[in-house]
A and B are shown apart, each in its own frame.
Chain A
Amino acid sequence: MRSKTTIGKIDIWLLLIYLAFMTIGLLSIYAAAFNEDFPHIYDFSQNYGKQLMFMGLSLIAGFGILLIDAKFFNAFAYVIYGLSIFTLLLVLVIGSKISGSTSWIYLGPVSFQPSEFAKFGTALALAHYIGKLDTDLTQFKTKLTAYGIILLPMLLILAQGDAGSASVFIIFLLVIYREGVGGKILIIGLTAATLFILSLCVSKWYVMIGLVVLYALFLLLIDRTKKNIWLLTWILIAACAFVFSVDFAFNHVLKPHQQTRINIILGKEKDIKGVGYNLNQSMIAIGSGGFSGKGYLKGTMTKYNFVPEQHTDFIFCTVGEESGFVGCFFLIALYLALILRIIHLAERQRSPFSRIYGYGIACIFFFHFAINIGMTIGLVPVIGIPLPFLSYGGSSLMFFSIMMFVFLKQDANRMNIL
């Protein structure tokens, strides 16, 4: 029954999507960082040369993963998670500062971003924990542990001052939802998000007046049993407390540059010279692409570096400017295909570990791509998280690839799970 090799059974569609991303990624970085004096794509002194090298390393790592026993990642999930937590602690001690956050470790010439590692580690640990046969998510203690697994790396990354990377972990809630925690959490989450945005957009006092009015309305409409009144009152108090704490967190926890970014998105501040400059330039670059774009390597905004951090967090500008709406449509469709394919494969897994892990990485990819593209077109605040497979950077490319290949391996091995 058991086949010796699983490599032949890997999902060819997912692999093709992955390779397509690699190709697009390299072409985009070449366009974004293009330097006429060093036109060779394999020139290692240039960013595209380096990215090519990272891609090679990622493929080697991926191939290596396919050779490892599939059970390894389930068995060693906690060890990998522990290691990633350790590197997060380490970065707080010996990390180097890049644009205000301490999130890098330098080992000689190699730099490494532990928050990328932590996403992988958390996906494994969560899958292992929830996937265990004796885990019952209906129990309060179990839920708490699951949230704890997510919260620990999140807090450590927040301590580095990297709110963007920390926010990625929120998406794991969707994984927990899939595994059976009530839909209430989604409703509460959506309500919280609405309140969050409202309390930042308008004065917290107006939000609370609105809440009290709603409270009064509900009181009129529902059965006024003692239990219902109590419940409603508690909800009101909790909502008010939430609004207050959002207001407090915004004014006292967030750094001024983060406040400004959020204010710009909310339209409270018009600052196209300072922080808004990035966003404004980015939107001009994408907007100027029109329907079919200016053509590969022909984007003037891109060419003359008007968009800062263009080859990293703002790589989508290059796509938008040079290949237009058509290119953007294709790229977003490709991301959707990637994520939906992973979910589809996850659902056919026999082992809960593989399924939960699949959902974990699908959610990570989703969050990264939605937030990154959203920020370049002014839908969400500018938070520095990379666009999977496209943004320049060794750590993110490497870990996105590893996450992918671990899942490919799990999937290829699914028939061997009894």
Chain B
Amino acid sequence: MIKNKINYSQRKYVIGSIFILVAVILLIKLFIIQIIDDSYKQSSESNTLRSVTLYPSRGKIFDRNGKLLVYNDAVYDLMIIPKQAKNIDTASFCKLLNINNKTYNNYLKKAQKYSMITPSIFISQITKEEYGRIAEMLYHYPGFYFQTRSIRQYPMPIAAHTLGYIGEVSQKDMKRDSYYKLGDYIGLSGIEKYYENKLRGKKGIRFTVVDVHNREKERYMNGACDTLPQPGTDIILGLDADLQAYGEYLMSGKTGSIVAIEPSTGQILAMVTSPSYDPNELVGRKRGMKYAEINANPDKPLLNRAISGTYPPGSTFKMINGLICLQSGAMNVNTAYPCNGPNSAPIKCTHYHSSPVRLYDAIENSCNPYFWLAFQDMMNSRKFKSQKEAYQFWYDNVTSFGLGRSVDSDIPYTASGKIPKKEYYDKIYRGVWNAMTVRSLSIGQGEILVSPLQLANVAAAIGNEGYFIEPHYIKSFANSNDSVSFQKHIINIKQQHFKDVKKGMRNVFEGQHGTARMSVIPGISVAGKTGTAENPHGKDHSILMAFAPVDNPQIAIAVVVENAGFGSTWAAPIASLMIEKYIKGEITRPALEQRVLTLNED
């Protein structure tokens, strides 16, 4: 022996005893639950258990004044447990359900494929009337039963795009989140999608014992295993239902959009896109068919132009250019630039006014040469080492208004628009370019694209004199302590410059030559800017951004009417009516309203 190891083999008795002891403990416990304790015994074998999912009511959606926008209505789903569905008289059953034999087999196969023992929906959303008729006869057909569900209803047929719609979950959803079962509903767009986890609540479950004739006999374990569904959270939107409805009324028959924002909070007051559709159409069993129908419409009613349409901002963009030029120090509010009217070069002026002009007049008259010359001065300013550095300064300031990027909030799928980076021009012009090359930027044409939402947000930022809150739909959750907050963005431009530009924008409505002077509202000070976006495909788009009242803005608005010509003709009166409706709650100028509505008949 190399080493004198002690023999520990006696320890096998210790280890063996532990093993036997544990086995005995297991057997004692088994003896208790299998033989002594009766509470685990089940009712007779012919009884089977059924679990019924109790669906919570989906959260309701209200407008800012507590007006109901979306609520739920009861419908009934016919459920099937394929394993229990035996000896069905298919012919009579099909007659009862009003389907043919082939459909029956298809539905059955679908359910079997999902699961033999887990219930799934056989026919969804059966109306109350049909339900009464079928439920009476259902005991003939084991394995089938009804489950109550709710569908979305919309008391006012407005804001379809904002509210979004719900639909059956996809395989992908079920894979991603085990909460969802075949036939469940999930928010597919808009508020319904973004706040899905809040709105959906929590499902409950009820176990019942069912006899061979498919009749519910008793609660399983007196309901000890059941859970109650928890209703979804109600949501209050910043939307003003009346304003939204009025906006849709004004825009009916036109193509375009309106976005109204409350500048102090960033909440969307109204978001109109036209043409649109009635949200009640995308509800219930007809949803699939209706959706296809609306989708095939050449006017694209499913497209939300307010957030995904992008346009050259035209003259409305001069406000941003004015602010940046002032901030650069290359010019000031008293700097005057000459204007030769239609003979100006390189950019003509489309308005007739005195020359030279200063900032207030230039805004009032929407003078192109003024803004070109100011832009040129900024680009050539000695403050910057090069024109490219000046351009970078311009770019940084433009994007600080939220342009060139999508919105980061509960508004989904917002277009980012386009603000060209200097690298973009470097690539096109192989590095050789200057103010002259990019001169159309000075008047909001060229490569710039903005969405109506972004434009409304620019109006809010100017109205606030230098900041904006990321635009969003929600105001608060109704029955929840969760608060909502969105980012505040400060723009790095002196407040005085904003005050100067606001003064000029006020002249647009109130000045003698103001391009929107026809749309002035009695008793409300409005500041704004019209625009006409050149459209290579047809008639120009009519654009306007505005806010009111000037000193303490309650509403900032952007209006785009496609192919309608000058901003002053259509967009301005629409914005003016919207502002009046929101602030006064009534319309004092029926003639103007009438004129706006006549475009519909073109």
Contacts and interface: CB of A to CB of B under 8 A. Distances in A.
Interface of A: 35-37, 133-134, 136, 174, 177-180, 183, 186, 272-273, 277, 280, 283-284, 286-291, 294, 298, 300-301, 304-306, 320, 324-325, 328-329, 332-333, 335-336, 339-340, 343, 347, 359, 366, 370, 373-374, 377-379
Contact of B116 (A37, A347, A366): A37
Nearest to A179: B8
B30 A320 contact: yes
Contacts of B8: 178-180
Interface stretch (B36-44, B366-374, B452-460): B36-44
B25 interface: yes
B40 A340 contact: no
B292 interface: no
A152 to B, nearest CB: 24
Interface stretch (B12-20, B234-242, B258-266, B386-394): B12-20
B211 to A, nearest CB: 13
B35 interface: yes
A240 B172 CA distance: 50
Given A36-B83, A328-B27, A332-B27, A283 B33 contact: yes
B591 interface: no
Interface in B19-66: 19-20, 22-23, 25-27, 29-31, 33-35, 37, 39-42, 45, 47-49
Contacts of B20: 336, 340
A311 B5 CA distance: 46
A347 B9 contact: yes
A32 to B, nearest CB: 13
Contact of A366 (B19, B25, B48): B19
B11 interface: yes
B227 A290 contact: no
14 contacts: A133-B2, A133-B3, A174-B18, A177-B15, A178-B15, A272-B225, A280-B225, A288-B40, A288-B41, A320-B34, A343-B19, A370-B26, A373-B26, A379-B26
B117 interface: yes
Interface residues of B, number: 43
Contacts of B226: 273
B428 interface: no
Contacts of A179: 8
A298 B45 contact: yes
Contacts of A373: 26
A290 B34 CA distance: 5
Interface string B110-130: 000000111000000000000
Given A273-B227, A335-B23, A290 B30 contact: no
Closest 6 CB pairs of A and B: A287-B40, A287-B33, A288-B42, A325-B34, A180-B8, A370-B22
A177 B17 CA distance: 14
A339 B48 contact: no
B19 A340 contact: yes
Contact of B45 (A186, A294, A325, A328): A294
A329 B31 CA distance: 9
A336 B15 CA distance: 12
A286 B40 contact: yes
A290 B205 CA distance: 28
A402 to B, nearest CB: 22
Given A35-B116, A272-B224, A286 B33 contact: yes
B6 interface: yes
Contacts of A347: 9, 12
B30, B41, B116 — most chain A CB neighbours (10 Å): B30
B8, B40, B48 — most chain A CB neighbours (10 Å): B40
A300 B23 contact: no
Contacts of B42: 284, 288, 300-301
B40 A283 contact: yes
A194 to B, nearest CB: 15
Contacts of B11: 177-178
A328 B30 CA distance: 8
A290 B36 CA distance: 9
B37 A287 contact: yes
Given A178-B11, A283-B40, 5 more contacts: A177-B14, A180-B6, A273-B226, A288-B42, A328-B34
A178 B48 CA distance: 51
A136 B2 CA distance: 12
Interface in B187-232: 205, 224-227
Nearest to B207: A306
B423 to A, nearest CB: 38
A340 B48 contact: no
A374 B33 CA distance: 13
B26 A340 contact: no
A91 to B, nearest CB: 22
A174 B11 CA distance: 10
A328 B6 CA distance: 40
Contacts of B3: 133-134, 136
Contacts of A298: 45
B343 to A, nearest CB: 72
A325 B41 contact: no
A3 B16 CA distance: 33
Contacts of A370: 22-23, 26
B6, B29, B33, B227 — most chain A CB neighbours (10 Å): B33
Contacts of B19: 336, 339-340, 343, 366
B9, B14, B42, B45 — most chain A CB neighbours (10 Å): B42
A177 B11 CA distance: 8
Given A179-B8, A284-B42, A336-B23, A289 B83 contact: no
Nearest to A133: B2
A304 B26 contact: no
A332 B15 contact: no
A197 to B, nearest CB: 15
Contact of B48 (A283, A288, A300, A324): A300
Given A179-B8, A291-B35, A301-B42, A277 B225 contact: yes
Contacts of A272: 224-225
B22 to A, nearest CB: 5
Nearest to A325: B34
A329 B27 contact: yes
Nearest to B38: A287
Contacts of B14: 177, 183, 186
A284 B40 contact: yes
Contacts of A328: 27, 30, 34
A26 B15 CA distance: 30
A317 B524 CA distance: 77
Contacts of A277: 225
A292 to B, nearest CB: 10
A136 B5 CA distance: 8
Given A325-B34, A336-B20, A379 B117 contact: no
Contacts of A332: 23, 26-27, 30
Nearest to A333: B23
A324 B41 CA distance: 12
B26 A290 contact: no
A134 B5 CA distance: 10
Nearest to A99: B178
Interface in B87-142: 116-118
A325 B35 contact: yes
Contacts of B30: 286, 320, 325, 328-329, 332, 377
A306 B35 CA distance: 21
Nearest to A35: B116
A366 to B, nearest CB: 6
Contacts of B25: 379
